[in-house]
Structure 1
Amino acid sequence: MIKKISKILFIGVFAVLTSSCTSELDIPSEASLSATAELANEDVDKLLTGLYKKLRHPNNYGYFAIMNTEIMGDNYKPVKFQWPQVQNIFENTVPPGDILLSYFYADFYAGIDRSNTILKVSTANEAQKGAARYARALSYLRLYDMFERVPLIDENYDRKPIAPSSKEDVLNFIVEDLKYSKANNVSFNILNLIDNQKTPTKEAATALLARIYKLQGNKVAAAIEAEEVIETGKFSLAVNPLERDSEVIFMFKGTKAETAGSWGWIMSPESRTWNNFGAADDLTALVKGEDTRRILFDFDGKVANKGYIYSKKYKTEDNSDLLVSRIAEMYLISAEAGNTNRLNELQLARKSSLTLAEERRLEMSFEWTRWEELKLTGETSYVLPYPTRAVDSNPLLK
């Protein structure tokens, strides 16, 4: 963890819109591949591997790019802020010149640039394009969560200054990408569970589409997509929420070799001398009686940890999985449209009797959706400012 103690002021600054707008993508242990050439399918797959890596690990401090909206919300109880930049995120007071802010903006656009590069490969098949558009949709969702109004860059972008689109148009753009992905991605194969959870499938696109419809306020359309995923029978609520293989629709698998999943470490007592977060008191208070989600929190260590209760949802050795979609979210989305039987099924599995809003907060805690919920319910209207360097490079952001 020595790398984490490096002073953040020494981090280099990204250019905007991306740190490296190029037609070549860096693939670990593979030669770079030009998107202007006619590539074999396996070469396009290598480009997709590079794209997935960028989304999972945006930069050397990518854990905060992943965690930032959860930090902005109310699920964390801070133990220590090693960096003022992290405290600013928690307090919703991020200045435009913040170095982490410039990373958040530029690095998700770098992922979008990689998606667009793949979409321009003439020999890419429809499934590969569907995977690239899923990745682009997910990148835009992260930007939407932070900034709401952002420039929409597709594969035809001419790299000239471009104004931000309305937040409605951003969501509509995401919807169109996900519709394409749903129509063209391969179907989830439960006989190859782990591999299918790591790549965008038809079911992954459908699940994310359900979330976007919910963000648009269209609960009926959201429930239709959610029910479609549930009714495949390919996913089920786990008896033990820590053993969630049956629940995961899509995730980026943690990799210790790349130190690409540090949020579990940051959410554990192991990082208490650095930037460190326990679970919020009003969140852990939702765990009552025999609720099976009790196992997700270190209640037994509260005294030893000076009153803090830590989450145990993720591994703590720089190999946390990056959860994107689980079947539990589909049950909640369906219930929000009035399908009370889905809430009953979830509560039966979890041995719980909370309100729907409470179930959502507890079930989806630390899965990067809480900020969206707070915005939907009007509990916050905070939006991150555009980074100073982004505005300097693209005056239309003003």
Structure 2
Amino acid sequence: MKSNKLILFILFASFFASCDSELEIDPKQNEDATVTLSTESGITNILTGTYATAATGAGFGGRNIISAELLGVSAQTATTELRWRGSYGEFRQIYNKAMLVNNTIIEGMYTRKYEMINAANTVIENINKVASPAKQKTMIAEANFLRSLAYFDLVQFFAQPYVAGQPNTQLGVVIRPNAIYDFNTDLSKERSTVDEVYAVIIAGLNLAYTDLPADNGFYASKYAAKALLARVYLQQGNYKAARDAANDVITNGGYSLSTSYAAAFNHAAMQNEDIFNIMITKQTGTNDANTFYAAEADGGRGGDLSIRNAYLDLFDDTNDARYNFNYVNPANDRTLTLKYQNQYSVVGIIRLAEMFLIRAEANFRESTVLGDTPLNDINRLRTRATAQNLAVVNLSSILKERRLELGMEGFLIHDIKRTKRSIDISSDGSGSVLLPYNDNKLVFPIPLREMDTNKKITQNPGYGS
């Protein structure tokens, strides 16, 4: 008989891992696992719970965003674009590129992603309990999307980066193709290669694109899957595929840019620029992006992560709305981004602006003009931001535009790795001390908890066993 403990754990973690204290637990959540797995409502609840797990801080509720920015900047306060000034030692380890295997922030991110993967696998394996074939198809597609989203985050943080044009046999993360029902089973397994993990991600997203509807409400849609594919292909250096996927979303997805840069943020419901995001309410989810970026008046901790002049100096036009999209917290004089001012707003995962940036970069690299020219795509974003249009673009200016448009949104370290750049960690910003993109210090350790329970897994270099 399948263990009751795991299914109850899935439901509990999915619905209540970060809920507010006033939330009353519905007694139905205590039902026996054999009942849950034998009913359509039970399987539907597990899928809904997978989204809820994504809405936790350690899921996709902000800690991945914070970590990607901290890992991508120098900890030298004289030259850094962002400065960590919070009391959380675990985030400071990431900022200093000195992570420990017992870092609880990193462990939480790892654990939540595997909870999502296991819940998605559970839905797929028990989908025959759902009566409607059409609903079965959609639910399987959603589960594949969520599983791919989780694997992609894991392989980006816990493995050496994908390098185009070579076999990527470096260790990725453990692939769990089946649901785990009994914790008493020995789950020891070695990590699959980065190539193998990316293959699972892409296969899942292609299935999701094929079977999801174009409009799926707050849940993953056909074009959310294609947009995530565009991001995955870009990370691989597969520019033709990234270009085609981004162009499909731009042309056929029915999305449009918000009327102003400010309007793209701090909203509590889906807007037309949003391709996929995480819903945060007073009952479910945790907006850790708001927690660590915002002032106390906006529900944050005062600005644990603040903007420094090195970031503002990247802008070439002081009329650019993105240059001015910040404020000074009167409580401590820290300059903070305006992107996170509402703890009950959605946490953005994919928005349309990113698709224009992907199409522009991929078209430029491939010397093509599919959909539009790179110059027009870049100037479309600059016009929206009230910045002076550029006369020409090159790869450097396109990559810079990504940083201006997507700053503080969790792209920095991943862009550094895929473009093989280094982080200047010299005290004077002279470039005399560089940390290369593939340095072991830029890869998270496999958490101690996983190392203790998985007899076959290999730790990342530099972290011991």
For the criterion TM > 0.5, the same-fold answer is yes
Match for 1:137 among 134, 148, 160?
A: 148
> How do residues 1-398 of structure 1 correspond to structure 2 at under 5 angstroms?
21-22=6-7, 25-26=10-11, 28=15, 29=26, 30-31=28-29, 34=34, 37-40=37-40, 42-57=41-56, 63-65=62-64, 67-74=66-73, 77-78=82-83, 80-121=85-126, 122-124=128-130, 125-148=136-159, 149-155=172-178, 160-188=187-215, 196=217, 198-232=218-252, 234-244=254-264, 245-258=271-284, 260-270=286-296, 276-287=304-315, 288-294=317-323, 296-298=325-327, 301=328, 304=330, 308-316=334-342, 318-337=343-362, 338=364, 339-340=373-374, 341-352=376-387, 353=389, 355-378=397-420, 379=422, 380-381=437-438, 382-398=442-458
CA spacing shift, 1:109–1:312, aligned 2, 3 Å: same
- Contact 1:71–1:89 under 8 Å retained in 2: yes
**Runs of 5+ consecutive residues of structure 1 not aligned to the other structure:** 1-19, 190-195
Q: CA deviation at 1:98?
A: 2.1
What percentage of aligned pairs have identical amino acids? Answer: 23
How far has the Cα of 1:92 moved from its partner? 1.4
Alignment partners' CA distance in 2, 1:267 and 1:159: 41
Give the secondary structure class of the aligned counterpart of 2:257. Answer: coil
Cα offset, 1:127, TM superposition = 0.5
CA deviations 1:206-230 (Å, max 9, x no partner) are: 0000000111110110010000000
1:293 Cα offset (Å): 2.4
**CA displacement at 1:344 relative to structure 2:** 3.0
Sort the Cα spacing of 1:335 and 1:61 in 2 relative to 1 into closer, same or farther, 3 A: closer
C-alpha contact 1:268 1:278 (8 A) present in aligned 2: no
Q: State the 1:71 CA deviation.
A: 2.2
Distance in 2 (alpha carbons) for counterparts of 1:106 and 1:81: 23
Shift of 1:22: 3.7
Residue 187 of structure 1 deviates from its aligned partner by 1.0
Q: CA deviation at 1:64?
A: 3.1
Structure 1's 351 and 66: CA in aligned 2 closer, same or farther, altered over 3 A? closer
Distance apart, 1:67 and its partner CA: 2.6
Equivalent residue letter for 2:148: A
Deviation of the 1:321 alpha carbon: 2.0
1:289 Cα deviation from its structure 2 partner: 3.0
Contact 2:233–2:242 (Cα < 8 Å) also in 1: yes
Report the Cα distance in structure 1 between the residues aligned to 2:103 and 2:143, rounded to whole angstroms.
30
8 A Cα contact 1:25 1:34, kept in partner: no
Q: Distance in 1 between matches of 2:356 and 2:186?
A: 41
Amino acid at match of 1:323: G
- Please state how far the C-alpha of 1:385 moved relative to its aligned partner: 1.2
CA change 1:24–1:385 in 2 (3 A) is closer
Flag structure 2 segments of 5+ consecutive residues without an equivalent. Answer: 16-25, 74-79, 131-135, 160-171, 265-270, 365-372, 391-396, 423-436, 459-465
CA distance in 1, matches of 2:138, 2:274: 21
Kindly report structure 1 stretches of 4+ aligned residues shifted beyond 6 Å. Answer: 271-275
AA aligned opposite 1:141: F
Matched residues in 2 for 1:328 and 1:275: separation?
A: 26
TM-score, normalized by length of structure 1?
Answer: 0.83
Q: Which is worse superposed, 49-58 or 283-292?
A: 283-292
DSSP-derived class of the 2:129 partner: coil
| Corresponding residue of 1:11 | none
Instruction: Please report the RMSD computed on the Cα atoms of aligned residues, expressed in angstroms.
Output: 2.8
Letter in 2 for 1:96: V
Aligned to 2:430: none
Distance 2:452 2:9 in 1: 26
Q: SS of the counterpart of 1:325?
A: strand
> Which residue of the partner structure matches residue 370 of structure 2?
none
Match of 1:13 in 2: none
CA displacement at 1:80 relative to structure 2: 2.1
Distance 2:70 2:157 in 1: 12
CA contact (8 A) 2:106 2:447 kept: yes
Aligned residues, how many?
A: 367
Shift of 1:391: 1.2
- 1:204 Cα deviation from its structure 2 partner: 0.3
Q: Is the 8 A contact 2:119 2:179 kept in 1?
A: no
Question: What TM-score, normalized by structure 2, do the two folds share?
Answer: 0.72
Distance change >3 Å, CA 61–CA 119, structure 1 → 2: closer
